[in-house]
Amino acid sequence: GSSPHADRGRKGKDEDEYESDNLSFQNPLPSSSQKKTPTKKVNSENVKSAHLKFSSHDYEYLFQKSDLTAWNDSDRWSSVDMEATGPGPSSAPSIVLPGTVLYYSKTTVSERELTQLAQIRPVVFDFNVQSTIRDCLKMLERKEEYDIVHEFLELEHMALSSDFNYGNELHNRDKNRYRDILPYDSTRVPLGKSKDYINASYIRIVNYEDENFYIATQGPLPETIDDFWQMVWENNSNVIAMITREIEDGVIKCHCYWPISKEPLELKHLRVFLEHYQITQYFIIRVFQIVKKSTGISHCVKHLQFTRWPDHGTPASADYFIKYVRYVRKCHITGPLVVHCSAGVGRTGVFICLDVVFCAIEKNYSFNIMNIVTQMRKQRCGMIQTKEQYRFCYDIALEVLQNLLALT
């Protein structure tokens, strides 16, 4: 299959050439693992489904139903304008109806706990580590805008795989939200025994002794909702990170693929129940039980939707996004962490990059943002779409290290 980014033919630097920029707390960053994924199975105990008891109150609808009739096939031609750059106001969540009584509301996490999570500290924080972090901080601060843009342009010209056969097959084309964003055949997530298609990619980021495992995917379409939940079930994932609102700037970014009332979402082989939720200032926590109809076995999933990414550009508050990423990591127990935005490349790439950076800082490991993005792009094309998003990763890494040294 031909690549949707066929014009990006110039080969970029090998990862080994980036080692001089490593923010090294211990050892230099290893190069990306090119092994076919997944290579290991996830362990988890299956538990029998308990009878889910719902409040006797009628559950108020949390979401205004969108008029989907205006959406047509022309919206799927390109993702270019999907996450446009430029300044934009931070958008408050617009999904709760005024005066709605939230019967299922339950406090799962406090703002105090989120603030503590955002204070990322290495396991060992002695004088030597502090000195190394100071050096790293100086190196980050020395990076000019030009250097960061130059790095991003090098990433844009990297020679990558052009195998998109499954995504381009006629019977799979309508399963893609954007026709220029497809998974590589080698890292796509197969569904069921017949290895059916979904626009999703396994992503493993190797960082010294650490390996973080994700599924990067697009926001589900009405016709792929069943496939999405099947993927979550088969991969035993217990966390979904959603980094978009359903509608932004009048454009449908993602269809509502979860139950919004006491009525479960009925799928072909699964049934999804909403247990409870919490609405914070910048993200929504939803807790679901997925039940397999044939066996009654259930699996609990936390759905964490970041609601403060503006229609254009990047979040005005780094603090909100740091807390969100840290809370998602805290909630992760089993399976690859499922991450999506609209196309599953821009904001999804920012999230994965920063999650890897935060885990590295916590474990005194080295990190190199260009290397992380290189690894991501070898497993799903176009991860981190714009230079503004790439710059945002640097800005947040800088802020976290500054906050860390402020504690000394």
List, by residue number, the catalytic residues.
341
- Token reading at 24: 């090294």
Q: For residue 85, how many C-alpha atoms fall within 13 Å in the half-sphere facing its CB?
A: 11
Query: Residue 174 and residue 70: Cα distance in Å, rounded?
Result: 18
State whether residue 29 is helix, strand or coil.
Answer: coil
> Containing H/E element for 291?
strand 283-292
Place of tokens 């080994």: 16
Q: How far is CA 214 from the centre of its chain?
A: 8
Q: What is the DSSP string of 111-163?
A: HHHHHHHHS---S--SHHHHHHHHHHHHHHHH--HHHHHHHHHHHHT------
Phi, psi of 272 (to 5 degrees): -110, 125
Query: Residue 167 and residue 332: Cα distance in Å, rounded?
Result: 29
Which 8-state DSSP code applies to residue 6?
A: T
